[in-house]
Structure 1
């Protein structure tokens, strides 16, 4: 099998070289503590008396997680290798840099390695008398049935869920309140994706799964986890309808309700195709008398160079609308 082509120097150094580039490109937003190369901290985020929001996970999903570190959103991120959880130490490093004395909230997608390592980090922080709590994101409706929602994975809906929690922390709410809003945001966010081609890791440069030309996989995860259905590639409208039907089936929205929408590229799918999908999403929601309060279209949670897209919908109420509209200023994401 042919190797894929990538603009890298050394596959094993790709993550650290990327981090060097991100810090060089965004010095007004981001910095790294000495001796903590895999912890990235918001230049204007952490402050005394504020809950520290620490996010993180594997690399390869940029701008998730690094792009959402900044004032009004996450205070710090712990960075793992490509598609691999960060070890406990970078999580601790990130938490110490984010600590304002009001507790730490860890947020990340629901993957076994992340859960294990962030839990170990929380125990290490306990020894330093720092309280750390966790909210895992579970927005991927294709990854487990509704009655086993706690087993679902966290994917592109992270953008909305982290945003809500980050706003609550920025408003100087208590750890109890920030955690409550994070859980509430997660409970009202729904995502489903479709993959059209595989991605490859920098170390191997070989596709990490096989998807024949002319086929698509609905519900595939952001690391290539199996989806719910594989079949011939369909039109943008047909694929969008299948995803919107699944989300509306779970969301329980009434006529007149408002939502936030994200049409997300998994890496190599261009904006043209995402906007074609968004046109259909908007048409379908208008037909159901559901108002789009805000929309994001573009690469927000990628999977290296995977072709495909996902649609995320957050079912808004007054509180979540306030949180999404609260200003934030991050390296790769801004509101207000």
Structure 2
């Protein structure tokens, strides 16, 4: 295994160090490096906080900044941040209006963020939004429900914009919960993930195989299928997503093609073109788009497709200015 690292043990800390140095105009470390937070916090604003294991960069630290997150915590590779880290982020970011935690639907993440909520309850007003946009977990019948994957970015952006307007904590909680029911994602991989500590791939594919329905922690999907054209692969993703989401007349859609870490931009744009054609053929109006590598699974060669059905107000919040290390307009 070849990776640009010094040791597996120091890789996460050195990477986060580099991120903070590269984006020092937006972010700083919190006390004792428990979190990465905005350099300039806004008094009287609800703090929007997220986090998760390393290996998904630029999510979540790449979304800390104006119009999005106030703080984010980073755990070890594919491992939730600790309750202590999360409490540190709450203490750092809460300016008196409370905190909203945006959490991906994984057992470890939910357990640690809930524990931090309980421990902080006496001193801070805290609410939580759980993102569960991945259709795969529901399809294969796992008890905990849908995983939180690339759609988390959309929730963080829209809720972050609303928080920037000064909206109260209860309203932001309702907004995030409402969004979650109208966002669906599905991923596909051409290779597994090489985890630094084990130096092994999470799964191995033959030269003519793809893994359909993968997660962002290197989990295999629901089926191993024959490698095919990009049009065929993207059509399968889009058909599965469109059957799982209720598209009403007048719906405004955001289409997001996300790279999982090892897929070049040319292939992502080609996939977007195929997905956009699919949506147009079914009269699903794509009014906004995002293409790029934002929610990754280390070096996985793969991509995910996300469809979000948004109200006019939510589209306006999506369009609102954002200035973070990974997302700016």
TM > 0.5 fold call: yes
Deviations 1:73-93 (CA, angstroms, capped at 9, x unpaired): 010001101100001111111
Contact 2:252 2:312 (C-alpha < 8 Å) held by counterparts:
no
Tell me, in whole angstroms, the C-alpha distance in 1 between the residues paired with 2:139 and 2:203: 24
Contact 2:256 2:290 (C-alpha < 8 Å) held by counterparts:
yes
Pairs within 5 Å for 1:310-329: 310-329=304-323
Contact 2:254 2:288 (C-alpha < 8 Å) held by counterparts:
yes
Partner of 1:154: 148
Unpaired runs of 5+ in structure 1? none
**Match of 1:162, SS?**
helix
Contact 2:140 2:222 (C-alpha < 8 Å) held by counterparts:
no
**Root mean square deviation, CA, Å:** 1.6
Deviations 1:177-216 (CA, angstroms, capped at 9, x unpaired): 0001111111111100101101112222221222222211
1:29 aligns with 2:26: yes
Of 37, 43, 47, which residue of structure 2 is paired with 1:41? 37
Partner of 1:120: 115
Tell me, in whole angstroms, the C-alpha distance in 2 between the residues paired with 1:133 and 1:304: 30
**Match of 1:92, SS?**
helix
Partner of 1:108: 103
Q: TM-score, normalised by structure 1?
A: 0.94
Pairs within 5 Å for 1:248-263: 248-254=242-248, 256-263=250-257
Deviation at 1:96, TM superposition (A): 1.1
Distance 1:165 1:147, change over 3 A: farther
Partner of 2:92: 97
Contact 2:193 2:298 (C-alpha < 8 Å) held by counterparts:
yes
Q: TM-score, normalised by structure 2?
A: 0.96
Tell me, in whole angstroms, the C-alpha distance in 1 between the residues paired with 2:278 and 2:202: 34
Report the count of equivalent residues: 329
Unpaired runs of 5+ in structure 2? none
**Match of 1:247, SS?**
helix
Of 207, 224, 232, which residue of structure 2 is paired with 1:238? 232
Tell me, in whole angstroms, the C-alpha distance in 2 between the residues paired with 1:196 and 1:148: 24
Tell me, in whole angstroms, the C-alpha distance in 1 between the residues paired with 2:34 and 2:195: 19
Tell me, in whole angstroms, the C-alpha distance in 1 between the residues paired with 2:119 and 2:295: 29
1:217 aligns with 2:211: yes
Contact 1:53 1:105 (C-alpha < 8 Å) held by counterparts:
yes
Distance 1:226 1:174, change over 3 A: same
Partner of 2:10: 13
Tell me, in whole angstroms, the C-alpha distance in 1 between the residues paired with 2:207 and 2:217: 19
Partner of 1:274: 268
Deviations 1:214-262 (CA, angstroms, capped at 9, x unpaired): 2111111111223121111111101111111111112221455321111
Deviation at 1:165, TM superposition (A): 1.0
Segment of structure 1 superposing worse, 228-237 or 304-313: 228-237
**Match of 1:143, SS?**
helix
Tell me, in whole angstroms, the C-alpha distance in 1 between the residues paired with 2:140 and 2:255: 21
Partner of 2:74: 79
Distance 1:289 1:122, change over 3 A: same
Distance 1:168 1:150, change over 3 A: farther
Distance 1:315 1:150, change over 3 A: farther
